[in-house]
Amino acid sequence: MITLVILISGRGSNLTSLLNAAASGAMPARIVGVISNRPDALGLQTAEAHGVPTCVIDHRGFAEREQFDVALAAAIDGFAPDLVVLAGFMRILGKAFVRRYENRLINIHPSLLPAFPGLHTHRRALAEGVRIHGCTVHFVTPDLDHGPVIVQAAVPVLDDDDEATLAARVLAQEHQVYPLAVRWFAEGRLRLRDGRVSLDAPQAGGVVLIAPQLVAG
């Protein structure tokens, strides 16, 4: 059983899926703390309802990004987690912070990276006319929305999709793959070499999930 700290900035639907996976035993991990950079993040209420300690480090209280990172790291270290999980955390983290949690800091991004890093991924996917879109769980490196890919889930883009329908289809997959990635990490099955992740003892030979069918073990 490993311990997690989850960082959020808002709604917290990925947080909810992780809380549920931990509660059901689908993920051998205990969520020991939830930290938000926004005091009004809805996910804070969800965490509290689950009896998970919360903490707010409001970025607006810091003149420099580095100072915020230092305060955030202190809050994280107070929980002494094995893994730090970014779940809709909308702040860019500095190099020193990322290095501090090297190989134990993961993020979920709503696109098939390296396509569409940054914001408004669903809008941009529609504008580009791509037929396949999705989400990515990856180890965090100092480059924004970049780093060794742990798992991706792909969804079709339908002719009548708008930003909301496409976002909802991707989000449903996010809620599946994030607990799965944490499970693999907790089971010690992720091997990182030369910037690539491989899965120890894979049951289905790969880590790409094609919605709605899960094909990885």
Q: Which residues touch 108 (CB under 8 Å, ≥6 apart)? A: 14, 86, 87, 88, 135, 136, 137, 174, 177, 178
State how far the alpha carbon of 114 is from the alpha carbons of 11, 133, 142, 189, in Å. Answer: 25, 11, 15, 23
- Count of residues near ligand GRF by CB under 6 A: 15
CB of 207 to ligand GRF, least distance (A): 17
- Helices in 39-193 by DSSP H: which ranges? 42-49, 65-79, 95-100, 121-128, 163-186
| Cβ at position 7, least distance to ligand GRF in Å | 11
> CB of 205: closest distance to ligand GRF in angstroms?
26
Residue from the set 5, 7, 14, 197 that interacts with ligand GRF by CB under 6 A: 14
**Catalytic residue of the set 59, 109, 122, 146:** 109
> Nearer to ligand GRF by C-beta: 74 or 119?
119
Q: Name which position in 4, 12, 22, 105 contacts ligand GRF (CB under 6 A).
A: 12
Round to whole Å and give the CA distance between 101 and 81: 10
Among 35, 153, 174, 180, binds ligand GRF (CB under 6 A): 174
**Shortest-Cβ-distance residue relative to ligand GRF:** 88
Rounded Cα distance, 201 and 213, in Å: 20
Q: In the complex, what is the shortest distance from the CB of residue 41 to ligand GRF, in angstroms, rounded to a whole number? A: 8
Contacting ligand GRF within 39-78 (CB under 6 A): none
Choose, by CB under 6 A, the member of 33, 81, 110, 148 that binds ligand GRF: 110
Pick the closer one to ligand GRF by CB: 2 or 113. 113
Reading the block at residue 169, the tokens are 């289809």
Distances (CA, A) of 199 to 115, 136, 190: 23, 15, 5
Distance CA 112, CA 190 (A): 19
The helix/strand/coil state of 94 is coil
Contact indicator for 71, 62 with CB cutoff of 8 Å: yes
Task: Decide if residue 134 touches ligand GRF (CB under 6 A).
Answer: no
Can residue 84 be called a binding residue for ligand GRF (CB under 6 A)? Answer: no
Instruction: Enter the DSSP assignment of 39.
Output: T
Q: Which stretch binds ligand GRF (CB under 6 A): 56-64, 69-77, 106-114, 186-194?
A: 106-114
Q: Which of 10, 33, 147, 179 binds ligand GRF (CB under 6 A)?
A: 10
Contacts with ligand GRF by CB under 6 A lie at 8, 10-15, 87-88, 108-110, 135, 171, 174
